[in-house]
Structure 1
Amino acid sequence: MCRRVTIITAVHAPSARFLPDAYASIRAQELPDGWEWHWLIQEDGKSDLVAPYVPDDERVTFRQGRPGGPGVARTLALAHAEGPYVKVLDADDQLEPGVLARDLAALEADGTLGWATSRVLDLLPDGSTAGFPGDPDHGPIERAAVLDHWKANGFRAPVHPASLFVRRDLLVALGGWMALPASEDTGLLLALGSVARGWFSAEVGLLYRKWEGQVTGQAAHTETAEHAARMAVVESRARALSHFQWRYAPGAS
């Protein structure tokens, strides 16, 4: 078995300038002996504006493709992922030290877990950080708990999908990220939570950058009709998976 954690990053021209910070946060990670990481960067589109920010490192692969949004870019990158685990990292975010090793340890220790997340802090423009209220307890997250919380709290998940660490075979079985213009990562999180137990680490694992160009900060992200449609299909998918009783097989890897 290839003992590799594949880190997948979707990037477009406005966010390319943050890639060096993301790279530095990956290089700071330490994995157990015999394990390695590989970073797949997939541009959402084809331009000459991203490549200059891609580090010259044999552990980094850069590809381009037709524009379709971050979910499409990540799913295209998934075709080239090797090894049993995938970690998502948005181009403008940063991993915190130790998160890859903690995620890996949780899933290696318990074959019934299909995915892991961790505490996230907002990284504000002035360099300060701010936490999210209502983090769950450190430890396992049972099936359906994510969907129940999301529905009861105004479409706010209890954990952040930008911090996901997933078994690659499970991610492939679910079709990767949803084909939506936004909320594609929330859709994946809810689907994962419907078919497999997860894990939450109370240690900070991700800095989520807040800046003027991020997609979630644009007016289109909260436009009423589209938002309602996204939430409806995200929920319907998760409930359908629960209804059909599809379950992640314990011990799969």
Structure 2
Amino acid sequence: MSLISIVTPVHEPALGFLPEAYAGLTAQTLPDGWTWEWLIQVDGGDGSEVPAQLLQDHRVKPSGNRRGGPGVARTMAWGRSEGELVKVLDADDVLPAGALARDIEVLMSHPKVGWTVSKVLDLMPSGQLVHYTLGDPEHGVLPRGELYDYWSTTHRPAVHPATLCVRQELLSRAGGWMALPASEDTALLMALDVMADGFFIDVPGLHYRKHAAQTTAHADHREGPEWRARMSAIKKHAEALRR
């Protein structure tokens, strides 16, 4: 049986979103011979905080760590993973039907592609789904280095890093997620982009929840000394890997 590992960091304010994320996971239909495991990592907890109804499913594997932020929690969850593919899923987001199957099918049919991303729909507080775009690329292969070149001039990733699915081996060579207070998902995407071709799936692969408590709503997310340090760290890592 082939395995795809779903990696989800969560902190206390987002625990209430997990049942909806789980519903999206259980609605997935995977290709024959595949199954999933869900590695929930509670940042600043021990895993016992995960809603009890989720723990009846043996595929749900909670744990925790000393508070270290989202990058640390993601890497700790990944450290427990056993799948040949690793899929990111934030606690407050939802996978629409077919998302995992599309990731698997692309990576199994394109052996030189190391990772996938996809189109996103924003999930608004009203429940409405709104198309999110930074100028989506065309469906198909994303040549190595193309996204990083765009990010270098705009500091915007061109595709949504919250949709990432990556080969376990490639993620290991990238070193997992950087220990940043935010943008750790963009940092990983830029690292992967300079290491291997990717693939953009022109079908919505994520319902990205918009709410006031999300990390991207913080005042330091897009400007100031913290932002400059994050951008510099991302660049140093990607440039070193590119060389």
Q: CA deviation at 1:221?
A: 2.2
Q: Distance in 2 between matches of 1:53 and 1:22?
A: 14
Q: CA deviation at 1:148?
A: 1.1
**Which residue of structure 1 aligns with residue 142 of structure 2?**
141
Q: CA deviation at 1:49?
A: 7.8
1:5 aligns with 2:1: no
Note the aligned Cα RMSD (angstroms): 1.4
Distance change >3 Å, CA 47–CA 76, structure 1 → 2? closer
Q: Distance in 2 between matches of 1:200 and 1:190?
A: 14
Q: CA deviation at 1:222?
A: 3.2
Equivalent residues of 2:19, 2:51 under 8 A apart: no
Distance change >3 Å, CA 168–CA 48, structure 1 → 2? closer
Distance change >3 Å, CA 53–CA 187, structure 1 → 2? farther
TM-score, structure 2 normalization = 0.95
1:58 aligns with 2:39: no
> Deviations for 1:74-100, whole angstroms, at most 9, x for unmatched residues?
111111111210000000000011011
Structure 1 runs of 4+ off > 3 angstroms?
A: none
Name the amino acid aligned to 1:171. Answer: L
Percent identity (aligned): 49
Equivalent residues of 1:16, 1:53 under 8 A apart: no
Moved more, 189-198 or 2-11: 2-11
Q: CA deviation at 1:151?
A: 2.2
* SS of residue paired to 2:220: helix
* SS of residue paired to 2:221: helix
**Which residue of structure 1 aligns with residue 43 of structure 2?**
44
1:72-151 matches, within 5 Å, as: 72-133=72-133, 134-151=135-152
Q: Distance in 2 between matches of 1:29 and 1:166?
A: 18
Moved more, 41-50 or 59-68: 41-50
* SS of residue paired to 2:51: helix
**Which residue of structure 2 aligns with residue 200 of structure 1?**
200
Equivalent residues of 1:6, 1:37 under 8 A apart: yes
1:20 aligns with 2:25: no
Q: Distance in 2 between matches of 1:156 and 1:74?
A: 21
Aligned residues: 241
TM-score, structure 1 normalization = 0.92
* SS of residue paired to 1:64: strand
- Structure 1: tracts of 5 or more residues without a match: 244-253
Name the amino acid aligned to 1:34. Answer: G
* SS of residue paired to 2:71: helix
> Deviations for 1:119-178, whole angstroms, at most 9, x for unmatched residues?
0111111111222331000000001111111123x2111111100000011111211111
Equivalent residues of 1:195, 1:242 under 8 A apart: yes
Q: Distance in 1 between matches of 2:9 and 2:44?
A: 10
Name the amino acid aligned to 1:139. Answer: G
